[in-house]
Chains A and B, each alone.
Chain A
Amino acid sequence: MAWEYSEKTKQLFLDAISAKPGTHLGEIEDPDGLGEHGSIVCGDAMRFAFRVKRAADPHDDRIVEARYLTFGCTSAIASSEALCTIIEERNLTPIEALAITNQDIVDFLGGLPEQKIHCSVMGAEALESSVIDWAKRRGVPFEDLGPRIEAAAHEEGRIVCVCFNLTEPYLRKKIQEMNLRTVEEVRDALKAGGACGSCQFKAGGIQDLLDELWGKDETGIAARAGAAEKSPYQLYKEIEQTILQVIRPMLQRDRGDLEIIEIKDKKVYCRLKGACATCAGAGVTLKDGIERVLRDRVDPEIVVIDV
């Protein structure tokens, strides 16, 4: 995992974290375009905003200021700086800015390690959504943004989670990507259904999406028919009762005690406490005392294990 960042990447990161003048960290009050991409869950996220010099025809607006807030690794922060610098240097209209690709960011940085390319993609995606936002604010038709962006802008779909404004295509995509299996997992990972909760189980809600994507979980519904013989549960109860009513009082008389850790099959896992724990005769107490009582009273095959 040695850092293989270019000098430019390192410089932009260090400038940003030392708040060097000319860096682009921050927010714009009342921006003309605002876009976000990524999420804290994924490990990086960017909020990108720009201000334009307005023209009579919004198509002639020119971006004059770009700012970002970024949560992410060294290269995510450097990519954010790179994006803002590229945009401010080139004096672009928002539609022209859409031509900036993640490759432009990579080139500006003098290359990025392969596993860090996603950082540059994040920049390009945040830019895209900020331009869509600008188009909405300025009344520019989406078709003017080009066919790719137009499709993205319209890809809104039915809203499933009203509280967090999350759409069906988005949830479908994320559920599959993140391999989410339960409404709890969806809530924890995507927030969906995490506020009022009404969308979790209603028709067309999160559970329905999960069932559709993964199939209904049949296991666990068909309960097993009860067994006829003495069940492990009955055995468990008998052992537990004997320990509580016979053995513990016996030990407590000698200022000792015993804690049940678990009972499985005919094995009793326990911990000797109090005077018993430090007693040199603990092994004898265990075998000749506790184990014998349980064998006599409950089952001759019981084994006691002191942990």
Chain B
Amino acid sequence: MSDRVIYLDNNATTPVCPEVVEAMLPYLREYFYNPSSAYEQSKLTRAAVEQSRATIARLLNASQPTEVIFTGSASESNTTALRGTLAANPDRRHVITTAVEHPSVMEVCKDFQRNGYEVTFLPVSRSGQLEFKDLIHALRPDTALVTIMHVNNETGVVFPVEKLAKIVKLTDPRVIFHTDATQSVGKLPIDLSGVFLHVDLLSFSGHKLHAPKGIGVLYMRKGTRCRPLLIGGHQENGRRAGTENVPYIVGLGKACELAAADFRNTYSEKKTLRNRLEAFILENIPYCYLNGRETGRLPTTTSVSFECVEGESVLYALGEHGICASTGSACSSGSLAPSHVLQAMHIPLTAAHGTLRFSYGRFTTEADIDALIAVLPGIIARLRTMSPYWDTTANRPNDSTIALG
């Protein structure tokens, strides 16, 4: 195994920035005071929490810092948003979401179904994009909630959330609009007082933007009807009980400050890296597709499906070269089916099993892409010669595979 780690899995999690660690340390070493306490010392931690809240509100252009609620993770934010909304609007029994949400939204929606709610799962096209029409048709007089992710974690496809929210709120202002923005905060501009004006609730977590794991945010527009998930404490204005995780809140504030300062740079820099990798793959490896290429994508994700290889074995072989990526196929997660996202996109099964995701972060370099480029074609070619579905002589899938695809 190679000693150097080439980390191309930033949609899963990101390394913590040194500046973030530095900002956190005083609150781990010295300033341990509970922000809710009465004595003078706790003013320090209270101020640190509020400063971080203000930084995050600025990044999102929220109209006031109190709209930012700290949670333990994006999953907690999602659960709170979904369950809290339905609990606060009991006369409405219908929910709209998409077929490609993160499990922390998908599974809560399925749980709603088990509890007598009706849920509409909007389909996506072959490129992973939604149609406005489908949302318009799905809206009903008893729709309580629409929850649609901003950027898909597997493909990087960007949904036009600002427009989808506008459709929803202008059709019926009582419907609550939530978006899971875990993959987009710090990477795409989000203006909650501008084009995102119709978004009521927005979730994200710190560890996708170089803050540590275990800290999340739920943005809740003032006046939104939503009940808390955790009760029993007055923290976060009674909207999330539990003593504030001061060092992590400070870390997240720092990470958001860094993201706000340079995300435009990062954006174009990663786009160059991504384009180089993708052009190389298309040129040098036959029979593969770039998923979501036909629609708007975040430049920090490449999802590529290779015909006739199984993703997990590619991943393992890459691992031997120190390269960390992930699959969209599920052999790695224990089930035989390709991921629900690839299924919803109707990626042919002959290629869906061979889907890999490379995702880039602030620390991804040209050298990382070089390392991947050096080994990927050889691994794919070798695994194809091993596959009964590949015609090695003609260097293409054999006839039975083509009929299947």
Contacts and interface: CB of A to CB of B under 8 A. Distances in A.
B372 interface: no
A178 to B, nearest CB: 10
A70 B388 contact: yes
A43 B334 CA distance: 11
A99 interface: no
Given A17-B383, A73-B332, A305 B166 contact: yes
A305 B350 contact: no
A189 B387 CA distance: 19
B171 A267 contact: yes
B404 A45 contact: no
Interface in A52-83: 69-74, 76-77
Contacts of A74: 312-313, 316
B133 interface: yes
Chain A CB within 10 Å, residue with most, of B311, B353, B382: B353
A44 B388 contact: no
Given A42-B336, A307-B163, A195 B386 contact: no
Contact of A264 (B137, B319, B349, B385): B137
A269 B167 contact: yes
Contacts of B311: 73
User: Dominant SS at the A interface?
Assistant: mixed
B280 interface: no
A71 B314 CA distance: 11
Interface string B387-405: 1111000000000010110
A194 interface: yes
Contact of B387 (A18, A69, A188, A303): A69
Interface in B180-217: none
A17 B387 CA distance: 11
Contact of A70 (B133, B335, B336, B387): B387
A245 interface: no
Interface string A20-51: 00000100000000001000111111110000
A14 B386 CA distance: 13
Contacts of A71: 308-310, 386-390
B329 interface: yes
Interface in B324-344: 329-338
A13 B133 contact: no
Nearest to A261: B132
A43 B316 contact: no
A115 interface: yes
A260 to B, nearest CB: 10
B166 A118 contact: no
Interface string B107-150: 00000000000000000000000001100110100000000000
B310 A16 contact: no
Nearest to A42: B336
Contacts of B317: 14, 17
Contacts of A221: none
Contacts of B137: 262, 264
Given A1-B334, A18-B382, A71-B388, 16 more contacts: A3-B319, A17-B317, A40-B349, A40-B389, A41-B349, A42-B336, A44-B336, A47-B388, A191-B403, A191-B404, A261-B133, A262-B137, A264-B139, A269-B167, A305-B166, A307-B167
Interface of B: 132-133, 136-137, 139, 163, 166-167, 170-171, 308-313, 316-317, 319-320, 329-338, 349-350, 353, 379, 382-383, 385-390, 401, 403-404
30 contacts: A1-B334, A13-B313, A14-B320, A40-B350, A40-B353, A41-B350, A43-B330, A43-B336, A44-B310, A44-B331, A44-B336, A70-B386, A71-B386, A71-B387, A73-B312, A73-B313, A73-B332, A74-B312, A164-B403, A188-B349, A191-B404, A261-B132, A262-B137, A264-B136, A264-B137, A267-B171, A269-B136, A305-B170, A307-B163, A307-B166
Q: Which A-B residue pairs are the 3 nearest by beta carbons?
A: A115-B334, A73-B312, A69-B388
